[in-house]
């Protein structure tokens, strides 16, 4: 770099560094109390800031409460921060004891459409019968007597011209019928695509075994091409 030549993006030398023997009067050597005068502090001249109060003596933080002494947010009354007002109604909540649950999940994938989000589902046309099994692992059996439920995610076909009251199912678990009749389901939408209105059918199981057999028969009073779809099944256990 040539003398007095400057390049963008490169730190430029200070004149006082290039002339160490010069008796230059710098702006920061002026009286710091002179109003309306900016007092920059040059590199290597930190001694000229002696007129500024020592940082250890500054009281800027003295009025700030110790964070450890601040009131815990959980102890604030009402639903708003202290010192504020609101016309909103108070929250209605509960904090019940958690209940441990265990589940066996079975994704149903025989037909490559309708299921959401898997994109697959099992289908029973009118008059069809399907069988699914759940084998309970030893670790669950070792927990002793558990209450069990069968949960089925299901939907009617997308044949919107067929009345929903014509669809029905007979469902049995280990030979015991848990449902026989109409089902609280709607025609799947959007038609021809992954349905977004699947519903849950839940049944209590009183005869749980190591190997459980689920039998479903489509007993609908509908056409042979009408069907009921099943996205997934799950057995849930709780104490």
Buried-state track 156-173, b at ≥16 Cβ within 10 A, e below 16:
bbbeeebeeeebbbebbb
Task: Tell me the pTM.
Answer: 0.63
Q: Is the pLDDT of residue 1 over 60?
A: no
The reported pLDDT for the residue numbered 88 is 92
Q: What is the pLDDT of residues 143-172, one digit of tens each?
A: 888 899 999 999 999 999 999 999 999 999
What values do phi and psi take at 231, rounded to 5?
Answer: -85, -50
Average pLDDT over the chain, rounded to an integer: 81
Q: What percent of the chain has pLDDT over 70?
A: 64
Is the four-CA dihedral 158, 162, 163, 169 of positive or negative sign? Answer: negative
Show Cβ contacts of residue 101 under 8 Å, excluding neighbours closer than 6 positions.
236, 237, 238
Give the distance between the most distant pair of CA atoms in the chain: 108
Q: How confident is the model at residue 86 (pLDDT cuts 50, 70, 90)?
A: confident
Stronger pLDDT, 230 or 140, i.e. the higher one: 230
Alpha-helical (H) ranges within 135-233 are 138-141
The residue behind tokens 């909103």 is 88
Average the pLDDT over 181-208 and give the result: 98
CA 170 to chain centre: 36
Q: How far apart are CA 153 and CA 34, in angstroms?
A: 80
Q: Are 152 and 229 in contact (CB under 8 A)?
A: no
Q: Is the pLDDT of residue 227 over 80?
A: yes
Q: What is the pLDDT of residues 2-40, one digit of tens each?
A: 555 555 555 555 454 454 555 555 555 555 555 554 444
Token pair belonging to 6 = 């400057």
Q: What is the pLDDT of residues 171-187, one digit of tens each?
A: 999 999 999 999 999 99
The reported pLDDT for the residue numbered 59 is 55
Q: Is the pLDDT of residue 44 over 80?
A: no
CA 103 to chain centre: 20
Helix, strand, coil percentages (3-state) for the chain, rounded to 5, are 10, 30, 60
Q: How far apart are CA 115 and CA 213, in angstroms?
A: 23
Q: Which phi-psi region, left, alpha or beta, contains residue 179 (left: φ > 0; alpha: ψ -120 to 50)?
A: beta
Stronger pLDDT, 16 or 197, i.e. the higher one: 197
Average the pLDDT over 98-104 and give the result: 92
Average the pLDDT over 230-239 and give the result: 96
According to CATH, the topology of domain 102-238 is Jelly Rolls (2.60.120)
What letter would DSSP give residue 15? H
Lowest mean pLDDT among 19-33, 116-130, 195-209: 19-33
Stronger pLDDT, 13 or 86, i.e. the higher one: 86
- Residue 49 in 3-state DSSP? helix
């Amino acid at each position: 770099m040539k003398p007095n030549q400057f390049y963008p993006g490169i730190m430029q030398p200070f004149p006082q560094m290039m002339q160490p023997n010069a008796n230059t009067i710098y702006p920061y050597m002026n009286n710091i109390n002179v109003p309306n005068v900016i007092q920059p502090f040059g590199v290597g001249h930190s001694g000229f800031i002696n007129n500024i109060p020592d940082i250890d003596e500054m009281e800027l933080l003295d009025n700030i409460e110790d964070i450890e002494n601040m009131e815990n947010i959980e102890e604030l009354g009402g639903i708003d921060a202290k010192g504020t007002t609101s016309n909103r109604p108070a929250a209605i909540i509960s904090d019940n004891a958690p209940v441990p649950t265990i589940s066996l999940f079975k994704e149903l994938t025989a037909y490559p459409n309708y299921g959401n989000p898997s994109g697959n589902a099992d289908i029973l046309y009118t008059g069809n019968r399907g069988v699914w099994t759940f084998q309970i692992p030893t670790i669950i059996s070792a927990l002793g007597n558990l209450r069990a439920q069968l949960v089925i995610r299901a939907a009617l076909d997308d044949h919107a011209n067929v009345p929903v009251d014509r669809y029905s199912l007979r469902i049995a678990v280990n030979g015991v019928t848990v449902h026989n009749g109409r089902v609280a389901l709607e025609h799947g939408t959007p038609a021809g695509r992954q349905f977004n209105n699947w519903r849950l059918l839940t049944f209590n199981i009183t005869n749980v075994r190591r190997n459980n057999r689920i039998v479903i028969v489509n007993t609908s009073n509908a056409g042979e091409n009408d069907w009921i779809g099943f996205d997934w099944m799950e057995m849930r256990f709780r104490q």
